[in-house]
Amino acid sequence: MTLQQTWNARLSYNVNTTSNQIVSVDFATGLNRIKHTNSSGCKIYPQYVNSTIGYLLKGGSNEGIHYTNGNKLLGGMRSPSWSPDGKYVVYEKTGWTTRPLQKKLYTWDSEWEYRFMDVFPDLSDQGMLVFNSKQTGTPGNSSVAVVPPSEYDFTIPFDTFEKGLIDPVSYESVTEGQSGCFQPSWSPDGKWITFGYGYWFQGRYSKPGYIYRTKSDGSYYQALTTNTSSSGSNAGFPSHSHDGKKIVYRVFLPEFGLRVLDLETNTTTTLTTERDNLPFFSPDGEWILFTRNVTLPERGQFSNYEVCIIRPDSTDFTKVTSSPANDAHAFWTADGRIMWSSGMWGFQAEAATYDNTFQPYGQIMIMNVDGSNKTVLTNSMWEDSMPCAECHYEGKSVMRRRFDCGRYADAPLSS
């Protein structure tokens, strides 16, 4: 199937327009190419089953398991795999019920324990997790939530619905539509949590976003940025400096780039003016890590994402990735290395397998600060993204990794 049809197949309203065929070739030579199907529809997971080939037809009234001999077993199923004798088939069923927080998940690496976690988790130096309650708690609330690692009951120091903030320019509630809190970040002393509060995704083009902070116990909160522009200036994705004195964040329209807010003087300086996002101070405060939307001449304007670093004084800008795919969602480890998500392996099988997702690719990688020694850490069929930094707490050294699909893991640093 073509690249575009692979992309289309991930969505229920596009899958019926997608067609591909099952083909076999001689493994050793690549010759003897045989096309085994000649029908419409998205056909995935082909496997030899005795004298025929079984596969999954995704979407439509004929969705289910089909065979090239004409037999079929209709129904909503995914990822079929047949026993060697062809008598049994194991498959998955898609479910949309939200997993409970901390639910243990399958791990492909025995050194790691994987559990479900909500979006944008960040582990403090004191050993507390903060995250956005996008799936847990009130549906769609996207509030700031705090929980001890491995526990289930979380507190809400900042509730987006309860605050009911009103944008001073548009006079609209900031909790409507694609909005709420995004990317909470701990202060080094664990007393404050800074976060973006406002509109994200497509809403950022016309509606505002602000940088807020709240006491971790919810006793006080304040806005750190204001919006007096009718064009809807949007600020978000903040990160504390190693000493807690500064916050770096991104702005989007009418200006672009990264800004650094000095909490002691309440002054803001311009760090960059490009289409930059997701900035993070390094553990020693020497660098700021971020993602830049760059132009590839062969693809057109704003066509690729790269991981970059820059000094807090705007010097020594360096682009540390250069793959033709997107490299983004980067984060520091405690020892000053960079973990990030890369799409350089393409869709693999996951785009066509996915149901109704907007971003079906990405593997976690790690590299040195200069971009050397790039190493892949995950290779699942799902999107693994936004790794979280290593931390020391309760006498143990652990590493937390966070994922868009809602997983995180614990492991000794030696692994």
Domains of the chain (ranges, CATH numbers): 3-92 (no CATH), 104-410 (2.120.10.30)
Q: Is pLDDT at 190 greater than 90 in this prediction?
A: yes
**What global pTM score does this model have?**
0.81
Averaged over 168-175, what is the pLDDT? Answer: 62
The pLDDT of residue 22 is: 96
pLDDT surpasses 80 at 194: yes
Which element (helix H / strand E) includes 145?
A: strand 144-147
3-state secondary structure of 250: strand
Q: 184, 122 in Cβ contact below 8 A?
A: yes
pLDDT tops 70 at residue 173:
no
Task: Tell me what the pLDDT averaged over the chain comes to.
Answer: 83
The answer, yes or no, to whether the previous bond of 254 is cis (omega within 30 of 0) is yes
Cβ proximity of 240 and 247 under 8 Å: yes
Mean pLDDT of 99-108: 79
Structure token pair of residue 301? 């304007």
Q: Find the mean pLDDT for residues 328-356.
A: 83
Q: Examine the pLDDT at 99 and tell me if it is beyond 70.
A: yes
CB atoms within 10 A of CB 241: 21
Q: Residue-wise over 48-76: b if at least 16 C-beta within 10 A, else e? A: ebeeebbbbbbbeeebbbbbbeeeeeeee
Of 203, 185, 199, the C-alpha closest to 332 is 185
Q: pLDDT per residue over 257-275, tens digit each?
A: 999 999 999 999 999 999 9
Rg, the chain, Cα only: 23
Please tell me the distance from the alpha carbon of residue 415 to that of residue 356, in angstroms, as a whole number: 35
Closest by Cα among 257, 326, 260, 322 to 287: 260
Is 193 within 8 Å of 144 (Cβ atoms)? yes
3-state DSSP call for residue 134?
A: coil
DSSP 267-284: EEEE---SSEEEEEE-TT
How far apart (Å, rounded) are the C-alpha atoms in residues 22 and 46?
A: 7
pLDDT of residue 286: 95
Burial pattern 288-303, b for ≥16 Cβ within 10 A else e, equals bbbbbbbeeeeeeeee
Q: Are 115 and 105 in contact (CB under 8 A)?
A: yes
